[in-house]
Structure 1
Amino acid sequence: MSAATKTASSESLEEMNARINEENARLRKKATTRRRIGLFWSYFALVLITILMVFPLIIVLLVSFTPNAVTQTWPPKVIPSAFTLENYTSLFQRLPVGREMLNTVVFAGVVTIVSVFFDSLAAYGLSRVDFKGRGLLLGVLIATMMIPGMALLIPVYKLLAGMGLVNSYWGIIIPRMADVGGIFLLRQFFISIPKDLDNAARIDGAGEFRIFAQIILPNAIPAILTVGMFNFMGNWNDLLWPLIMTSKPETRTITAGLAMLTGHGSSVTPYGVVMAGALFPLCLCWWCSSSCKSDSLKALP
């Protein structure tokens, strides 16, 4: 092969490599553009969803600082022309907020602790202990979830009233001391834990409760925290049951207290006061978290 032929073939090879590199660069640029467009629309959707979720909280915040006379106007104003702290002062004048907040913490906290304990015990028995009728019992428990809660209000109220538990902590706590949904969720999680751990503990002489406390519970912390969070939030926001079982401020929760403000003694609902009461627990949690953070920073060397 002559030198001219070698030169021509090398030039054609270089041209081919240049075209390939150019095509690769074009494809990379196109892929980068598509990725940037996809990220843009993803971030846009996330920002839009965030705004939609935060918007009600912003409305609550604005209305809590708006005079009641302004909240009754039509059409409503998203950003009022005047702001006031009268709603917060009126809230503490109309309701024993501190006592009702304490009642809510006691109600939600005790129910969460006791319910998680009983739910985990029942889930352990339904998932790790073999006994006759276990499947039938589980089916009956799941079937009870199909019974509307409203159908049980009157029988449960009459039962607790006959026991003299109306207007008491136990009256609102006892019916919530176990939850079928929590039992089912924990049972499904307990099934995923290998039974070899149980057998090894039994060989070492451990009993069922020790296996439950030292093996099952430490391995089921994510499920237990999930059930506890659902229980706490559900009971904290519960309105109907505390409103039925309590009629005195000594045992009334904050949700039931705010419900008493709507149309209580007046045909006009004080929306500003109600919104201030709804926002007060959030402000209290923020203040507590800020205080704990500042104390932890001061403790640093």
Structure 2
Amino acid sequence: MSLISPLIPIILPVILCAAIGVFWVRFRQPFDHEFVRRMVLWVGAPALIVGTFGKTVISTELLQHVLLASVCMLGFSALFAALACVVLRIEMRNFLVPLVFGNFGNMGLPLCLFAFGEEGLAIGLGIFLTTTIAHFSFGAAVLSGKAMVKGVLSSPIIYAGIIACLLIFNDWHLPVSLQNTLGLLGGLSIPLMLITLGVSLSSLKLQEAKKSVGLGVLKLIVGLAGGFAAVYFLNLEGLERKVVLLQAATPAAVFNYLLAMQYKREPDVVAGMVVSSTLISFISIPVLLYFLGV
């Protein structure tokens, strides 16, 4: 119980915010999916990335090392996910991306802070930056079925990541007024994503729910396998090893649902996958923390 109780403030808000979306549909209230999606991807998420790194202290050397570890973690996860899709005859175009990209921000960052303090949070932020850029470049290309160079270059997420790197590598600090503005705008993204998720859950069918739970379990297995492969390949030790494994064990990211909805890649199934993997992680992550000696 002592391992589970600290996670309640992290996981319970996810469930409650998604429940708002479910009840919203039950009370037959209008919901504009496209407007919400654009607000999150074009305003909320870029502000969250730049605003977070604008107030975080992390050395250039450590960031470079973490970026390499993040790329390896994603690479191994993608390999394992692709193999799983082939063996289990799962539609790779629809589910490779949600199987690879976990909730490195909304759940991963608070977990890093809770388990390893400020230093662990800094490493977790480096992973969050790398995976976010990859999610909206490589991930979007896979879901769209084409290279999408123009689409990637026009994504505010990519430029937000570049600005964040410039802030860190040059030790720049944002003016307080701008930092506060980004904090306000970035704060809208996560609640909107979760409420949108709940709206989609209200239309899940029984067959889709079973498929979603199976994919949710597979996501947790693939992510953790990719994390272990990365730490052994790079021979990571100490805190960096623990943070990479913790981030790798996070459930499917809510961003997966927004992208699945944008490219019409079975968004209802992906929505259930996000929720089921999040609920299961309520048990799996405390077990991992015990294994890591936290």
Q: Give the structure with higher Rg (CA).
A: 1
Query: Larger RCO: Structure 1 or Structure 2 (Cα < 8 Å, ≥ 6 residues apart)?
Result: 2
TM over 0.5: no
- After TM superposition, the score normalised by the length of structure 2 is 0.24
TM-score of the aligned structures, taking structure 1 as reference length: 0.24
